[in-house]
Amino acid sequence: MRLGVLISGSGSNLQAMLDRVAAGHLPGVEIALVLANTPEAYGLKRAHHAGVAAVCVDHRHFASRAAFDQALVERLLDAGVDTVALAGFMRLLTPVVLEAFPGRVLNIHPAILPAFPGIHAQAQQAAYGVRLAGCTVHFVDEHMDHGPIIIQAAVPAMPQDTEASLGARILALEHRIYPQALAWLAAGRIIVHGRQVEVVGARYTGEGPLWTVPALEPPFISEYPV
Amino acid sequence: MRLGVLISGSGSNLQAMLDRVAAGHLPGVEIALVLANTPEAYGLKRAHHAGVAAVCVDHRHFASRAAFDQALVERLLDAGVDTVALAGFMRLLTPVVLEAFPGRVLNIHPAILPAFPGIHAQAQQAAYGVRLAGCTVHFVDEHMDHGPIIIQAAVPAMPQDTEASLGARILALEHRIYPQALAWLAAGRIIVHGRQVEVVGARYTGEGPLWTVPALEPPFISEYPV
């Protein structure tokens, strides 16, 4: 898999991918290009530190979304990219990109989709008073935060949480589930039927018995897996 | 706590409450009245079998929501009810009920709110292809499925799930979290600040380390709790 990572900002998910590749945890995955839509993106520095090719394609220099997307596609294809991962990329993609890489564009969103799409999802979750927050890796379609879901993670949210505390808890999960999804895709284990994404050989029971927040107490607790 | 349970149909959550009371798992909670808005509700039979007072107040006999709600309130107050639990109650409550029992009206919804409000939530979750589904117990406000959240539970959803298979998995959690929420309320452990519900002394870390669906695999897995 030759991966192109699209960023707009800090790029912490990019860093997680770079670290995993360096550690040998993503066999068959090479990060061929990091592409930012603004020169201020700190993720560009991360790419340089890791010795990965990086480029800025400033969306403000283009008259239309389609023209911008065409420039993105050209840079990505030039780098031999076959899979695109959005990692905090703040521009909505048009079909130009999606048709250049059909079924190969992924995104991560810091909420349990379809709840809390859009920006400031961490702050929204904290303000709403949810008890389960989380994140989602999904294939990208023409609608924001909408394509078929590959993996979701849940974290507890608590009354005293702020955007920062909850965001940090979610981010720790993001840094695991995004590389995991890429590993599955690179291994050819992902099959998509409509909205359903099957990961061949994956375990669907989660990592614990029951998951409630707050935790259940006896006599309501159960030792039996769901 | 003298509980009034409002139902429209089968009443499986009512049955879970009846069973928990009979088993002594809900000390201080008495189910004072089961009230259905239709004579067909099977939950009325469940109440009779358990020796609990039951009544039908048919919404079709009333000219307005407010008049119907007024009749509900009269029956509930006559029975000495101080707390109201909606268990599959299909009528939207007006402020008439909410003001008669301020901060004491609860509902359970078979999704991780605010995702998938409204009817057929289980089918909606299966069709959407979520990987995390679940249920929510919350206080009722004037908006459907919207009030402050007390407890949420997550269950895995899989590509092969139907409405029935996913619904059954969610229901098993409903039958735990609803009695748990009632136990906390009866014990005076619930404090509400705006949208945030604090359960005094409750554990917010959930029952397992990380919770993702599909499950993470090495080297992305973690043995450490969140």
What ipTM was estimated for this complex?
A: 0.90
Q: Which helix (H) or strand (E) holds B135?
A: strand B132-139
Say how many C-beta atoms besides its own lie within 10 A of residue A2's C-beta.
Answer: 15
Instruction: Using an 8 Å CB-CB cutoff, list chain A residues near B220.
Output: 25, 176-177, 179-180, 183
Element (H, E) at B166: helix B163-186
Instruction: DSSP letter for B114, please.
Output: T
Give the whole-angstrom CA distance, residue A158 versus residue A160. Answer: 5
| Token couple for B178 | 């609803």
B195 with A151: Cβ contact below 8 A: no
Q: In this predicted structure, what is the pLDDT of residue B123?
A: 98
Rounded to the nearest integer, the mean pLDDT of chain A is 92
Q: Identify whether the C-beta of residue A16 lies closer than 8 Å to the C-beta of residue A177.
A: no
Q: Which residues of B touch A116 (CB under 8 A)?
A: 114
Of how many residues is chain B composed?
Answer: 226
Chain A neighbors of B177, CB-CB under 8 A = 212, 216, 220
C-beta atoms of A214 and B203 within 8 A: yes
**From the CB of residue B43, how many other CB atoms can be counted at a distance below 10 Å?**
27
What's the pLDDT at B206?
54
> Whole-structure pTM over 0.90, yes or no?
yes
Question: Cβ of A220 and B130 within 8 Å?
Answer: no
Q: How many CB atoms lie within 10 A of CB A62?
A: 16
According to DSSP, residue A33 is labeled E
Residue B185 CB partners (closer than 8 Å, separation 6+)? B1, B83, B104, B106, B150
In chain B, residues 19-78 whose CB comes closer than 8 Å to chain A = 20, 23, 25
**Is pLDDT above 60 for A45?**
yes
Cβ within 8 Å, pair B127-A195: yes
Q: Respond yes or no on whether the N-terminal peptide bond of residue B214 is cis (omega within 30° of 0).
A: yes
* Tens-place pLDDT, residues A89-134: 999 999 999 999 999 999 999 999 999 999 999 999 999 999 999 9
d(CA B148, CA B152): 11
The C-alpha angle B54, B148, B85, rounded to 5 degrees, equals: 5
Which among B112, B128, B197 is the nearest to A159, CB-wise? Answer: B197
Q: What pLDDT, in 10s, does the model give residues A133-149?
A: 999 999 999 898 999 99
Q: Please tell me the distance from the alpha carbon of residue B212 to that of residue A173, in angstroms, as a whole number.
A: 9
Contact B157, B213 (CB under 8 A): yes
The C-alpha of A63 sits at a distance from chain B's nearest C-alpha, in angstroms, of: 35
